[in-house]
Structure 1
Amino acid sequence: MSGARRGDDTGPHNRPAAVVTGGSRGIGRGIVLALAGAGYDVVVNYASNADAAAEVGRAVAALGGRAHLVRADVSRPADRRQLIDEATAAFGRLDLLVSNAGVAPDVRADLLEAGEESFDRLVDINLKGPYFLIQLAARTMIEQQAAGLTERPKIVVISSISAYTASVNRGDYCVTKAGLAMTTQLYATRLAEHGINVYEIRPGVIETDMTGPVRARYDDLIFNQGLTPIRRWGQPEDVGRAVVAVATDLLPFSTGQVIDVDGGFHLRTL
């Protein structure tokens, strides 16, 4: 695997290792399976759904990889530390962090009515947690590079078109995704001297549990109103393929790059 040190042979214990937060369902699941298919062992982080995580673990094994399941809440400092510690203990290395875990507001509330409780929850999980998890992972990667355990490790931040698209009934979500965009820029700048490239993958409308409650609305926008030039729902595997492109070192002269996986939503047309 280009971009990750594999040792003297290509046996299963020399496979590169990734951590994927929120890896049990939706986009995270698609990323985990794409990485397993590309030759990675994967730490599958989940917050509560142990059954879904176990199913993903079995799917990784079917693809010839190893999965290590870690229940951890990225909003909690002790859990973030546990996640990185278990990753290095399980596989002895950390070649890739995919910061994907995130939540939507429980209630879509108008900007003039929304309360602080939802705002604080989303900031803790969607922004503060990833910000400091990346810090921990980066320190570990730098140490492992010095020890010869990995080469050119990478960090991928999964954000959203909500980083720049205003939705006035879920302002807290938009603010956290905009924060992730700057988080990517900051860490890309800081870590370049260590040979660690950082990327932001910005999904559009992806068919997951999160978008299920508004499926009818998005069906109309996509298929009838031309919301996206590519007139279909995005799939978790679309995001997974983009992560694999980064993981396999196909973008070695890019860092801080935004990779849109949105069916062309970002295009401005007349």
Structure 2
Amino acid sequence: MSTEAVGGNESGRADDPDDSDAVRAESGLGESGRAASADLDSTEADGSSPRRRTTLFVLLGACLLLTGFAIGVIARIPLQDKGDAAPNAVDVGFCQDMSVHHAQAVQMAALELSGGSDPEIKRFAYDILTTQQNQAGRMQGWLQLWQRPSVDPDGYMGWMSAHGGMHDSMGSMPSMSMSAQPTGAVQSMPGMATATEMNRLRQLTGPEQDTLFLQLMLRHHQGGITMVDYASTHADTDAVRTLATSMNATQQGEIQLMTQLLTARNAPPLPMT
């Protein structure tokens, strides 16, 4: 993996420097992540079955989700005492929608880890799984503290409708025409894989799965950037703005890496959905 991509992921795990408890918790997670990465290499070497590997990754993901949830709670308690700004619709909506967006990325990464063949891509998938599952847990922890539902029942991205946010952000997305841009809550976020695409990713193995994983994840990242950009400037809480900013840096670097990997395989990117 390129140095740029590794640096981006470290920034993706960064949190508010004032939240010393959260930083210490994340340091411990980093040690666990390195140990688990070593386990990943040994699992590949001993020829464990894909089903067993998938089960291990699911268990790892659940642990990271709980860890992120705890970090979110710990990080917010001192900020509440300091009179941090109350969450607005952007804070809440971003945490709700990005948790769902991350969940699919984690699922795709787990499939690549269980059936892919390229060690570099599998390590990249592992990095996505651990980072985004932890971030999802953190966002769900904040929603619990704010006493808000984990998912908006009205749909996705309605929180970006104010000030023309959704219209302005989506206008620059690949293959997204101005006439196709939504103006309120939508039923599917841009870049999300369809059920058919996810089933195909499950069925493929080896180099074919490596390529489809990169194509789906590249489009997934490109679709998520519009939400990250908007939240980094319109959220009221420092914690959400900081997390969105770090996500932006991480995913921009990962977009460059995936584009390079697809070019090396003579595989085109997928059009935006």
Which has a greater percent of strand?
Answer: 1
Q: Shared fold (TM-score greater than 0.5)?
A: no
Taking CA–CA contacts closer than 8 Å with sequence separation of 6 or more, which of the two structures ends up with the larger relative contact order?
Answer: 2
Q: TM-score, normalised by structure 2?
A: 0.34
